[in-house]
A and B are shown apart, each in its own frame.
Chain A
Amino acid sequence: MNKVVQNAIEAIRGIESQMTLMLGGFGLCGIPENCIAALAATDITGLTCISNNAGIDGFGLGMLLRRHQIEKMISSYVGENKEFERQLLSRELEVELIPQGTLAERIRAGGAGIPAFYVPAGYGTEVAEGKPVRQFGDKMYLEEQWLKADFSIVKAWKGDTNGNLIYRYVANNFNHAMAMAGKITIAEVEELVPVGALEPNHIHTPGVFVQRIFQGQNYEKRIEFATTRD
């Protein structure tokens, strides 16, 4: 078994135009910075990107938006990005908005082999349009379907060469579920360690879900809203 690749350029090999990608992160927290930068250096276009947010101008997925590499975003919240707004208004970019919990569960279901399930979120709203509804008890629910990706790209704090991953604080967010839902899952980690160096009780994402792993470098970890009490 050899999952280790040398860098982001090697990791994204096989990603082609028109593919569907999942990219972990919430805002700029826990995003796969190295792979996004590597994608932004390619001529790949027409991507469908499943990601909770769309980055900011010039950073995170904003880097791919600026180069018109994204055709469609599937997200729950897409503020904080002027270029995104411009492309949306000019119809260069298609956006599908999904309630955040439904998005997380559709991704988890994709990884867990569950084609459809019912949730109450969005019942009676425009999110429900075209979806089967069903009553359980005295409450109405919407049928939602799994999401899968050609490649999932996630970011973890520590990983071992078997692909076992540990996240730091809230930088986990969508990374764990997305790692499960990619046909090929790429993990970039701040610290890549040998097998046996991670405590098995502490693993968040078991290595079975990860096909490629590498130690990233030069993490910027930008902060959107630095807020202090002093």
Chain B
Amino acid sequence: MALDKNGIAKRIAQELRDGYYVNLGIGIPTLVANYVPPGMQIILQSENGLLGIGPFPAKNEIDPDLINAGKQTITALPGAAFFDSSMSFAMIRGGHIDLTVLGAFEVSETGDIASWKIPGKLVKGMGGAMDLVASARNIIVAMMHTNPQGESKLLKKCTLPLTGVGVVKKIVSDLAVLDVTPQGFKLLERAPGVSVEDILNATEGNLIIEGDIPEMLI
């Protein structure tokens, strides 16, 4: 069975390592924070100026000066740090953030990503996505393998305006875990009950299948 959003987040959480500084995008990536393995310390960055994001506040703790990049109210953990936007993106651009997790409309077999603009629809802007994808040392894309019409979102070439070129390293979709390699999408794991053929049918870009492909351990 294909994974739901929480399943994707759970699988991505297995990529975390103790001491990682991590930036989580809006949507599925945000859910990854719910599955940090017990005993592991992960420091979450919010690009509007916080290292050390805590849980959402209790009702009586809400503070308008304490929001995340999605403009939701949050808390800051003990040991947190606040800073201005140019400092925040110095952390990102300077390669000091260990892992970025973000969503995408499309990814190409060469690691291009389209995530900010759909022609004909209203454009809201790229926010920090272009800065994040261009600079993070490691980028995992959390996405659905196909769109609601069943068309592949893992393509030979992106059709939508790009957010970054050749930047995606790994994809965790509802069907599979894949690395982006110079030869194309390398299939690493299948979602429980999903066959290699299912994944092949849902992938337009070049899919590399070597040996037995194990099921994810969720």
B130 touches A222 (CB 8 A): no
Which residue of A120, A167, A176 is within 8 Å of B134 (Cβ)? A120
Chain A residues 190-224 with CB under 8 Å of chain B are 204, 221-224
Q: Check: B109 CB closer than 8 A to any chain A CB.
A: no
Q: Judge if B36 is at the interface, Cβ distance under 8 Å.
A: no
B49: nearest chain-A partner, CB-CB = A170
A229 in contact with B56 (CB, 8 Å): yes
A125-B164, A173-B49, A229-B56 are known contacts. Are A223 and B64 too (CB-CB below 8 A)? yes
B65 and A171 form a contact (CB under 8 A)? yes
Say whether A76 faces chain B, with CB atoms less than 8 Å apart.
Answer: yes
Cβ-defined contact, A124 with B92, below 8 A: no
B66 — which chain A residues lie within 8 A by C-beta? 169-170
Among A7-15, A38-46, A63-71, A102-110, the stretch that binds chain B is A102-110
Instruction: For the complex, count residues of A whose C-beta is within 8 A of B.
Output: 57
Nearest CB in chain A to that of B57: its residue: A228
Contact status of A177 and B62, CB under 8 A, knowing A122-B130, A172-B49: no
Query: By the criterion CB–CB under 8 Å, are A169 and B63 in contact?
Result: yes
B101 to chain A, nearest CB (A): 17
Which of B70-78, B146-154, B190-198 interfaces with chain A? Answer: B70-78
Binary contact track A87-114/B, C-beta < 8 Å → 1, others 0? 0110000000101111111011000000
Least CB separation from A54: chain B residue: B125
Please state if A173 and B93 are interface contacts (CB–CB under 8 Å).
Answer: no
- Report if A20 contacts B (CB, 8 A): no
* A101 and B131 form a contact (CB under 8 A): yes
CB contact between A225 and one of B57, B70, B134 (< 8 Å): that residue: B70
Q: Which of B57, B65, B85, B127 contacts A177 (CB 8 A)?
A: B85
Q: Which residues of B contact A222 (CB under 8 A)?
A: 64
Residue B217 lies at the interface, judged by CB distance under 8 Å to chain A: no
Question: Interface 1/0s, chain B 74-91, versus A by CB < 8 A?
Answer: 101000001111101110
Q: Which of B48, B93, B163 contacts A125 (CB 8 A)?
A: B163
* Chain B residue contacts of A97, Cβ below 8 A: 123, 125-126
Q: Assuming A100-B47, A125-B163, is B65 touching A169 (CB within 8 A)?
A: yes
B135 lies within 8 A of A121 (CB): yes
Assembled-state Cα–Cα distance A169/B49 (Å): 8
Q: Are A104 and B164 in contact (CB under 8 A)?
A: no
Determine whether B50 belongs to the interface, using a CB cutoff of 8 Å to chain A.
yes
For the complex, what is the distance from the CA of A14 to the CA of B55, rounded to whole Å?
45
Check if A223 sits within 8 Å of B73, measured CB to CB: yes
Contact at B162–A125, with CB atoms within 8 Å?
Answer: yes
Which bucket holds chain B's interface residue count?
A: 35 or more
B166, closest chain A residue (CB): A124
- A residues in contact with B122, CB < 8 Å: 85, 88-89
- B93 and A26: CB pair below 8 A? no
Quick check: is A227 within 8 A (CB to CB) of the other chain?
A: yes
A78: chain B residues at CB < 8 Å are 124-125
Tell me whether B161 is interfacial, beta carbon within 8 Å.
yes
How distant is B59 from chain A, measured CB to nearest CB, in Å?
5
Known A100-B89, A123-B165, A125-B161; judge A172-B131 contact (CB<8 A). Answer: no
- Whether a CB of chain B sits under 8 angstroms from the CB of A174 is yes
- The reply to whether B58 and A229 form a contact with Cβ atoms under 8 Å apart is yes
Q: Are B73 and A76 in contact (CB under 8 A)?
A: no
Q: Is B128 an interface residue (CB 8 A)?
A: yes
Distance in Å: Cβ of A141 to nearest Cβ of chain B:
9
- Most-contacted residue by chain B among A26, A80, A168 (CB, 10 A): A26
A216 CB to closest chain B CB (Å) equals 14
Contact indicator B85/A120 (Cβ below 8 Å): no
Q: B107 at interface (Cβ–Cβ under 8 A)?
A: no
| Most chain A CB within a 10 A radius of its CB, from B70, B84, B162 | B84
Q: Which residues of B contact A (CB under 8 A)?
A: 46-50, 55-59, 62-67, 69-74, 76, 82-86, 88-90, 92-93, 112, 122-131, 134-135, 161-166
10 A-B contacts (beta carbon < 8 Å): A103-B85, A125-B164, A126-B161, A171-B65, A172-B85, A174-B84, A177-B84, A177-B85, A225-B73, A228-B62
Q: Which 6 A-B pairs have the closest CB atoms?
A: A101-B89, A124-B165, A101-B131, A221-B64, A176-B84, A77-B125
